[in-house]
Amino acid sequence: MYNLLKGKKGIIFGALDENSIAWKTAERVHEEGGQFVLTNAPVAMRMGKINDLAEKTGAQIIPADATNMEDLQNLVVKAMEILGGKLDFVLHSIGMSVNVRKNIPYTESNYEYYAKGWDVSALSFHKVCQTLHKNDAMNQWGSIVALTYIAAQRTFPDYNDMADNKAYLESIARSFGYFYGKDKKVRINTISQSPTATTAGQGVKGFDGFITYANLMSPLGNATAEDCANYTVSLFSDLTRMVTMQNLYHDGGFSNVGVTPEVIASMNK
């Protein structure tokens, strides 16, 4: 390890189980010398194994609904108390669509469900950034990262309303990133990750097909959750101090490839 995050402190949202990118990131941050608090919504915490991760990494857990401003205020204040000062990094690894869970087609979206998914998956990122900003909770050159997917730019029909949520999420990173950068020299970026076999990802219809197709299209193959954790660590580190307001593709090259012989061969079988 390189001690890239030695002395740095932060918050990691969304660690559910060993398959989640947030879980892998927490492990890597710990290995690189960083300290953090873990947080997730109470209902998600009951479903996952976050206590095991906390024990492994020496982290404390602060339950918080990322759509609730009071919860976020409590989280940020307590995190600074526990960690002994301002924060250097925050990972937003949250996504949920009720329409997807209930197998409702995009063209027949239930708008109450739509609004709930948007609040959890996208608007919560603005709420997190606003709470951090209002509390002057980030050190200069701190780094805030959210996870996204290329369906924000391209049509993946079965990704449903999550595609809209991710597009909104990426816009928040650009817009809030400008103001946070001007005010406090804080960086905000999104990582557009390969389809990854997380608990949340596997809830999308046809997700195994997403993974297989992306792997055939990508010259380097799909980026794993562990790969994404490493990339996130680099964005938390001082090595990327001048990177902000970017949507950064971490997909083995998928985003720049039109077609490959492997895909053509699979269609000709």
pLDDT confidence bin for 201, thresholds 50/70/90: low
**Domain CATH code at residue 224:** 3.40.50.720
Does 149 qualify as catalytic in the annotation?
Answer: yes
Average pLDDT of every residue of the chain = 95
- Tens digits of residue pLDDT in 112-129: 999 999 999 999 999 999
- Tens digits of residue pLDDT in 131-142: 999 999 999 999
**Higher-pLDDT residue of 60, 43:** 60
Any domain includes 64: yes
Q: 207-217 and 261-268 helices cross at what angle (nearest 10)?
A: 130
Any domain includes 4: no
pLDDT of residue 177 exceeding 80, the answer is yes
Q: What is the pLDDT of residue 198?
A: 73
> Is 62 annotated for ligand binding?
no
Catalytic residue among 114, 159, 231, 249: 159
Nearest to 169 by CA among 203, 197, 127, 206: 127
Both structure tokens of 210: 């997403």
Integer Cα distance of 246 and 232 in angstroms = 13
Asked if 159 and 121 touch (Cβ cutoff 8 Å), the reply is no
By residue range, what is the domain housing residue 54?
Answer: 9-268
> Is 166 annotated for ligand binding?
yes
Does 114 qualify as catalytic in the annotation?
Answer: no
Q: What is the pLDDT of residue 203?
A: 60
pLDDT of residue 3 exceeding 90, the answer is yes
pLDDT of residue 206 exceeding 80, the answer is no
Integer Cα distance of 233 and 5 in angstroms = 8
**Amino acid (1-letter code) at residue 48:** G
- What is the percent of the chain where pLDDT is above 70? 97
Any domain includes 43: yes
Return the bridge partners of 12, or none: 38, 91
pLDDT of residue 202 exceeding 70, the answer is no
Count up the domains in the chain and report the number: 1
Three-state secondary structure string covering the chain? CCCCCCCCEEEEECCCCCCCHHHHHHHHHHHCCCEEEEECCHHHHHHCCHHHHHHHHCCEECCCCCCCHHHHHHHHHHHHHHHCCCEEEEEECCCCCHHHHCCCCHHHCCHHHHHHHHHHHHHHHHHHHHHHHHCCCEEEEEEEEEEECHHHCCCCHHHCCHHHHHHHHHHHHHHHHHHHHHHHCCEEEEEEECCCCCCCHHHCCCHHHHHHHHHHHCCCCCCCHHHHHHHHHHHHCHHHCCCCCCEEEECCCHHHCCCCHHHHHHHHC
Question: Which strands, in side-by-side order, build the sheet including 138-148?
Answer: 60-61, 35-39, 9-13, 87-92, 138-148, 187-193, 247-250
Catalytic residue among 113, 114, 149, 231: 149
- What is the percent of the chain where pLDDT is above 90? 87
Any domain includes 21: yes
Any domain includes 218: yes
Nearest to 94 by CA among 64, 116, 120: 120
Any domain includes 82: yes
> Is 20 annotated for ligand binding?
yes
Any domain includes 26: yes
> Is 85 annotated for ligand binding?
no
Angle at 152 between CA 97 and CA 203, to 5 degrees: 30
Query: Which residues make Cβ contacts (< 8 Å) with residue 62, sequence separation at least 6?
Result: 37, 38, 39, 74, 75, 78, 79, 82
pLDDT of residue 147 exceeding 70, the answer is yes
- Tens digits of residue pLDDT in 232-249: 999 999 999 999 999 999
- Tens digits of residue pLDDT in 74-110: 999 999 999 999 999 999 999 999 999 999 999 999 9
> Is 84 annotated for ligand binding?
no
**Higher-pLDDT residue of 265, 183:** 183
Q: What is the pLDDT of residue 176?
A: 98
Any domain includes 3: no
